[in-house]
Chain A
Amino acid sequence: MSAPTTDHAHTVSVLRTRTTPATAVRDALVIGRRNLLRNVRLPQLLVFATVQPVMFLVLFAYVFGGAIEGTLPPAAAGEYLNWLVPGLMIQVAAFGAGQTALGLAEDLQNGVIDRFRSLPMARSAVLAGRTGADLVRNAFVIGLMVVVGSALGFRYQTTLLRFLAAFALALLFAHSLSWVMAAVGLRVRTPEAVQSAAFIPVFPLVFASSVFLPTATMPDWLRVFADNQPLTVVTNAMRGLMLGPGALPPGQDLVTEVARSLAWVAVITAIAATGAIRAYRRIAA
């Protein structure tokens, strides 16, 4: 660099002293890009984010597939993979959401959030940049499920438009979970504690749902929970969109299930985002 070093002070500042919606969007993009670079440049993160879901896909398809295929509704066209891929798209979203909490907790611990908060940037940008980057990461990992699933034999049974609608629904749900985990990360505050606070509750939610298997054979007490919790509602709606209404449990129709899914997404996002923003503000108390 040949540029002469200029006075640090005295120079009339070209810096902003006010934030506007336009600067807020720019700041969120700057932070989001930074967060995405972390995923790209730390190979272990990328491996964890891709190998683990692919492993689930292959193991479930070949270990359980043969035993389950006979019990699936005709809409699955006799292929467990057709049934499994929509579920796994939700599973990877649920397991990946903890990354939002982990990232925020690490930034808190390393003083990065203090640095951001001492800059004349939009206050919203830290959370928007984090959940936005995680939305991109989710799109990649959920897309990877579809690609690997297709290579193994997954085919959607409806129209491309309905398949895309299901994909969008998965992303919206993943985004709502990111906000939940943002609230968790900002309250728990240390990466070590996040490991248990964010990852452990996800297991019962994923398994006590229709993600891997139909809920019909579960004991009544568990089935009542499983049938009504958001992972099942969203997974069922996605199957209805990708495989046709025949993939829904008896007595359900597609429009109602998609509407129920969107309602869950809206409620979770609203509550969790409010909680995350309040937790972020409280850092200043």
Chain B
Amino acid sequence: MSDPIVHVRDVVHDFGRVRALDGVSLDVEPGVVYGLLGPNGAGKTTLIRVLATLLRPTSGSAHVAGVDVLADPTAARARIGLAGQFAAVDAYLTGRENVEMVGRLYGLRGSQARERAGEVLEAIGLADDADRRVSTYSGGMRRRLDLAASLVGRPQVMFLDEPTTGIDPRSRMEVWELVVDLVERGTTVLLTTQYLEEADRLADRIAVIDHGRIVTEGTADELKERVASAVLEVRTAPDDLERARTLLAGIVGEEPSTDPSGSALRMPARDGTGTLVAAVRALDGAGIAPEDVTLQRPSLDDVFLAVTGDVPTEVSA
């Protein structure tokens, strides 16, 4: 592994008596999307705030792009971009004015700031709307403008705190495309998300964070492998569900979980198709006709369940 561009060791942060971060260590390789996945209150935002120099942790160390964040925050700030949970843009300024202002605060002189703002707005797909006031922008456009503003300084590392929370599905796709685009240009992205789908889709590596601790870390595939090589999903008529659960528990050796829709059972299939065949035979023998039986790669939901004992609560958008 090449030298990590984000290097966090034993970071602890207490808000009064509440321990928000409980000894977090992680390394992020340059040029990847790294996902911090966890439910509300897990400590994701606190960790981002430490790395973006907004918060001094109670103890521990953090380096970003080779700079000690705690010892030299100004140098770190010149190398990072931050897009928080809100679009921190001014509604009464135009898109271009917002981006130019951030450019000046990165230290660019007038003409450089103007030129750079033009480039970034072009890259982010807002060039045509750049001279309209942000008050006329949609929520998705504001998020993109916020991202544009954090790109002005050509950050080596971008921190995106729940970049798609609260925006419509189309805007979410646009933000995802931007993230992919960013990484292709060589920026390392550290993003937090409550959405398993988002982490699965975007992140090269994922750390699952819960109660201020990283409970597991790896590529999406590695995390899934850790649960079981495959997951068996059995859908039955609602009346048969509980009988099937008892029956299948005897076969796979653990209580099947219920999928989010409430009409299917999920369980590890350690013998792959062997488990599937055994399950179908048992159901048939008990007179239960399954509506659907599938053997799947485990989802991140399964991973989350396995490592935290709970399915993450997704906040509705």
Seen from chain A, the residues whose Cβ lies within 8 Å of a Cβ on chain B are 1, 3-11, 13-19, 23, 26-27, 30-31, 34, 37-38, 41-42, 110-112, 114-121, 125, 284-285
The answer on a CB contact under 8 Å between A118 and B53 is yes
* Interface status of B212 (Cβ within 8 A of chain A): no
Q: B75 contacts which chain A residues (CB < 8 A)?
A: 17-18, 120
The answer on a CB contact under 8 Å between B78 and A3 is no
The answer on a CB contact under 8 Å between A111 and B90 is no
Q: A1 contacts which chain B residues (CB < 8 A)?
A: 118-119, 121-122, 127
* Interface status of B107 (Cβ within 8 A of chain A): yes
* Interface status of B74 (Cβ within 8 A of chain A): yes
The answer on a CB contact under 8 Å between A120 and B74 is yes
The answer on a CB contact under 8 Å between A3 and B187 is no
Question: What is the CA–CA distance of A38 and B182 in the complex, to the nearest angstrom?
Answer: 32
Top 7 A-B pairs, shortest CB-CB distance: A16-B107, A111-B88, A9-B186, A111-B86, A115-B88, A120-B77, A1-B118
A115 closest partner in B (C-beta)? B88
The answer on a CB contact under 8 Å between A11 and B154 is yes
* Interface status of B283 (Cβ within 8 A of chain A): no
The answer on a CB contact under 8 Å between B108 and A8 is no
Question: What is the CA–CA distance of A131 and B187 in the complex, to the nearest angstrom?
Answer: 37
The answer on a CB contact under 8 Å between B106 and A120 is yes
Interface string of B87-107 (1 = CB under 8 A from A): 110101100010001101111
Question: What is the CA–CA distance of A112 and B88 in the complex, to the nearest angstrom?
Answer: 5
The answer on a CB contact under 8 Å between A121 and B105 is yes
Which of the listed residues A26, A112, A118, A285 has the most CB atoms from chain B within 10 Å of its own CB? Answer: A118
* Interface status of B40 (Cβ within 8 A of chain A): no
The answer on a CB contact under 8 Å between A3 and B86 is no
Distance in angstroms from B71 CB to nearest chain A CB is: 13
The answer on a CB contact under 8 Å between B78 and A8 is no
* Interface status of B55 (Cβ within 8 A of chain A): yes
Q: Could you count the A-B residue pairs with CB atoms below 8 Å apart for me: how many are there?
A: 130
Seen from chain B, the residues whose Cβ lies within 8 Å of a Cβ on chain A are 49, 52-56, 74-75, 77-82, 84-88, 90, 92-93, 97, 101-102, 104-108, 112, 115, 118-119, 121-123, 127, 133, 149-151, 153-156, 182, 185-188
Ordered by A's residue number, 28 sampled pairs between the chains whose C-beta atoms are within 8 Å are: A1-B121, A8-B123, A8-B154, A8-B182, A8-B186, A9-B156, A9-B185, A27-B104, A30-B101, A34-B93, A110-B86, A111-B84, A112-B90, A114-B49, A114-B54, A115-B150, A116-B105, A118-B52, A118-B53, A118-B80, A120-B74, A120-B105, A120-B106, A121-B106, A284-B54, A284-B55, A284-B56, A285-B56
Q: A114 contacts which chain B residues (CB < 8 A)?
A: 49, 52, 54, 82, 84, 88
Interface SS of chain A: loop
Question: What is the CA–CA distance of A227 and B49 in the complex, to the nearest angstrom?
Answer: 49
The answer on a CB contact under 8 Å between B123 and A5 is yes
Q: B105 contacts which chain A residues (CB < 8 A)?
A: 27, 30-31, 116, 119-121, 125
The answer on a CB contact under 8 Å between A119 and B187 is no
A35 closest partner in B (C-beta)? B90
User: Which of these, B49, B92, B151, contacts A8 with CB under 8 Å?
Assistant: B151
Q: A42 contacts which chain B residues (CB < 8 A)?
A: 92
Q: A16 contacts which chain B residues (CB < 8 A)?
A: 78, 106-107
Distance in angstroms from A29 CB to nearest chain B CB is: 9
B52 closest partner in A (C-beta)? A118
User: Which of these, A30, A38, A118, A125, contacts B90 with CB under 8 Å?
Assistant: A38
Q: A37 contacts which chain B residues (CB < 8 A)?
A: 92-93, 97
The answer on a CB contact under 8 Å between A13 and B115 is no
The answer on a CB contact under 8 Å between A6 and B119 is yes
A40 closest partner in B (C-beta)? B92
Question: What is the CA–CA distance of A120 and B155 in the complex, to the nearest angstrom?
Answer: 12
Distance in angstroms from B161 CB to nearest chain A CB is: 9
Q: A9 contacts which chain B residues (CB < 8 A)?
A: 154-156, 185-188
Distance in angstroms from A187 CB to nearest chain B CB is: 17
Knowing A3-B122, A115-B149, say if A30 contacts B104 (CB, 8 Å): yes
Q: A34 contacts which chain B residues (CB < 8 A)?
A: 90, 93, 101
